[in-house]
Amino acid sequence: VRPRFYSPDVTAAGIFPLPDDESHHLQHVLRLATGAELSVFNGRGQEWGGRVTVSPKRGPVMVELIDEIVPPPEPPVLVTLGIGVLKGDQMDTVVREATMLGVAGIVPFTSDHVTVSPRAWASGAALTRWTRIAVASAKQCGRAVVPAIAAPEPLPVLIDRVAAEVRLICVEPRLTAATSVSGALGPCAGRAAVLIGPEGGWSDEEVALAQRGDYRCVHLGPRTLRAETAPTVLLSALWAVWGWS
Amino acid sequence: VRPRFYSPDVTAAGIFPLPDDESHHLQHVLRLATGAELSVFNGRGQEWGGRVTVSPKRGPVMVELIDEIVPPPEPPVLVTLGIGVLKGDQMDTVVREATMLGVAGIVPFTSDHVTVSPRAWASGAALTRWTRIAVASAKQCGRAVVPAIAAPEPLPVLIDRVAAEVRLICVEPRLTAATSVSGALGPCAGRAAVLIGPEGGWSDEEVALAQRGDYRCVHLGPRTLRAETAPTVLLSALWAVWGWS
């Protein structure tokens, strides 16, 4: 398998510099020499095979991209995952697995029971980190699309802003309005938005707000899932019903 | 929510000693006093509510179990998960999540591309550790069943030994015999066995062996999943098709 690199600026075959961090990774971690074969994807679904042409002591590695590669097909529905902000390593898990499971976008949100302090993402470093994890996960799973990750926003803003044909909010199964996620799904060929609460769950007002925004209450079975596992379970169930590609 | 304790010997209401590790957890971690409410499950699907009656300086905590509790329903199919032995923390993740996702049993197996040395589980400490993780996960997710975990055995032994109405082996999607897992499933009301390979995947001989044992080749979509995530994705897809309870 050729090593894969990420360069968001590439849109066609040709000769290009790799971004700084990718140049560094190529030279100092993978230690590829001039002439080594590789592939480069742009995070928007395109990928090319090629080779290293110049690998200088200073400045970016140059690569020649020759043949366009057909990447693995994307899922049949563009799913935006809304996730209540979790603490560091849990959020890393969510970003890594949701990327691997084909989400189109991730929107972290703040809500009544989010316990992570806004200072944790105020500087923008958290968003940079999540994006880096999404790129790394895309590399590893063979995906040529990197999901867009938004800066954390309040739940009502997300509900107002994200347009989708199918809207689901994951709730505890004891909530009487909830049906199992697989039972709730009809065919969908467009966009879906799915909400998963923070570790502390939802307040009643939040569930009511989502319902007014046409979100349907669904559950993921009778056992209590860890917050960082719920997105993987939900996405797997969606593809089991809608098809994986 | 009442704290939950595990005691495999309880089969009816009455007054019982808690096992040593559970006594220790009650006294020194949760610091419950005499009279405190709790519940005790036996790992085979039964649970009772009660209270602490004696909490001595030495010897086991005594509990009085009064009313039987109806635990969350188990999934409609008894699924045995065969998993190629992974390294420590990945195996912990698989056991924790598979328990949370309702498997009936877990059978770690050795195969051509398993890279973990048999010395890692020779002493039996690994099996003890996995069982402890399964108990902890059952406590956390509200399940009253603790899946049975077997000591690692060679793949051919597993294939020969585990009886099941539905048999699936997860393979790379490029394998021509593979269909998507959700496409492959008809109704099932009995037992299923599912095989997930180690990080290095399957040898051709192993896939052929499984097929001769009536295992059907299925895939989990076109992206490469991490070995420790694949069981969660597979189980979620099974419940999306067969129902969660």
pLDDT, one tens digit per residue, over A38-92 is 999 999 999 999 999 999 988 899 999 999 999 999 999 999 999 999 998 999 9
Q: In terms of Cα–Cα distance, which of A235, A196, A37 is closest to A109?
A: A196
Q: Does A133 touch chain B (CB under 8 A)?
A: no
Which of B181, B237, B244 is facing A180, going by the closest CB pair? B244
How far is B20 from A192, CA to CA, in rounded Å?
49
* pLDDT level of residue B172 (50, 70, 90 thresholds): confident
Which of B222, B229, B245 is facing A245, going by the closest CB pair? B222
Q: Does B27 touch chain A (CB under 8 A)?
A: no
Q: What is the mean pLDDT of residues A220-230?
A: 95
How far is A96 from B43, CA to CA, in rounded Å?
33
Residue B177 in this model has a pLDDT that exceeds 90: no
Hunting for tokens 């006093």 — which residue is that? Answer: B33
Contact A236 B240 (CB under 8 A): yes
Residue A189 in this model has a pLDDT that exceeds 80: no
- How confident is the model at residue A4, as a pLDDT? 97
Q: In terms of Cα–Cα distance, which of A17, A228, A18 is closest to A135?
A: A18
How far is A95 from A101, CA to CA, in rounded Å?
10
Contact A236 B241 (CB under 8 A): no
Residue ranges of the alpha helices (H) in B15-79?
20-24
Count of C-beta atoms within a 10 Å radius of residue B170: 24
Q: Does A243 touch chain B (CB under 8 A)?
A: yes
What's the Cα-to-Cα distance from A58 to each of A4, A15, A27, A64, rounded to whole Å? 22, 18, 11, 18
Q: Does A92 touch chain B (CB under 8 A)?
A: no
Q: What is the mean pLDDT of residues B108-113?
A: 96
Q: Which pLDDT tens digit goes with each residue over B69-84?
A: 999 999 999 999 999 9
Q: Which pLDDT tens digit goes with each residue over A3-32?
A: 999 999 999 999 999 999 999 999 999 999
- How confident is the model at residue A188, as a pLDDT? 82
Hunting for tokens 């597993």 — which residue is that? Answer: B158
Q: 3-class SS at B97?
A: helix
The residues, ordered by sequence, that sit 6+ positions from A49 with a Cβ below 8 Å of its Cβ are A2, A37, A38, A39, A65, A66, A67, A69
Chain A residues touching residue B236 (CB < 8 angstroms) = 220, 232-234, 236-237, 240
Q: Which pLDDT tens digit goes with each residue over B54-66?
A: 999 888 999 999 9
Q: Which two tokens stand for residue A30?
A: 């993978």
Q: E strand or H helix at B119, and its extent?
A: helix B119-122
Cα-Cα-Cα-Cα dihedral sign, residues A230, A233, A236, A238? negative
* pLDDT level of residue A187 (50, 70, 90 thresholds): confident
Contact A226 B180 (CB under 8 A): no
Q: Which pLDDT tens digit goes with each residue over B118-152?
A: 998 988 999 999 999 999 999 999 999 999 999 99
* pLDDT level of residue A126 (50, 70, 90 thresholds): very high
Exposure string for B29-49, b = 16+ CB within 10 A, e = fewer: eeebeeebebbbbbbeebbbb
Q: 3-class SS at B26?
A: helix
What angle do helix axes A230-242 and A88-100 make, rounded to 10 degrees?
Answer: 10
- Counting residues of chain A whose pLDDT is more than 70, the rounded percentage is 100
Q: What is the mean pLDDT of residues A151-174?
A: 95
Exposure string for A59-76, b = 16+ CB within 10 A, e = fewer: ebbbbebeeebebbebbb
Q: Does B211 touch chain A (CB under 8 A)?
A: no
Q: In terms of Cα–Cα distance, which of A122, A115, A191 is closest to A151?
A: A122
Residue A125 C-alpha, separation from nearest chain B C-alpha, in angstroms:
26
Q: E strand or H helix at A202, and its extent?
A: none
Q: Which pLDDT tens digit goes with each residue over A86-113?
A: 998 999 999 999 999 999 999 999 999 9
Count of C-beta atoms within a 10 Å radius of residue A46: 17
Q: 3-class SS at A204?
A: helix
- How confident is the model at residue B73, as a pLDDT? 95
Q: What is the mean pLDDT of residues A170-190?
A: 84
- How confident is the model at residue B12, as a pLDDT? 96
How far is A38 from B183, CA to CA, in rounded Å?
34
Asked whether the beta carbons of A83 and A196 are under 8 A apart, the reply is: yes
Cα-Cα-Cα-Cα dihedral sign, residues B90, B96, B100, B103? positive
Looking at every residue in chain A, the average pLDDT score rounds to 95
- How confident is the model at residue B1, as a pLDDT? 80
Of A128-142, B79-93, B180-194, which gets the smallest average pLDDT?
A: B180-194
Global pTM? Answer: 0.95
- How confident is the model at residue A92, as a pLDDT? 97
Chain B residues touching residue A101 (CB < 8 angstroms) = 221, 223, 233
What angle do helix axes A125-141 and A88-100 make, rounded to 10 degrees?
Answer: 40
> Amino acid identity, residue A100?
M
Asked whether the beta carbons of A97 and A140 are under 8 A apart, the reply is: no
Q: Which two tokens stand for residue B10?
A: 């309880």
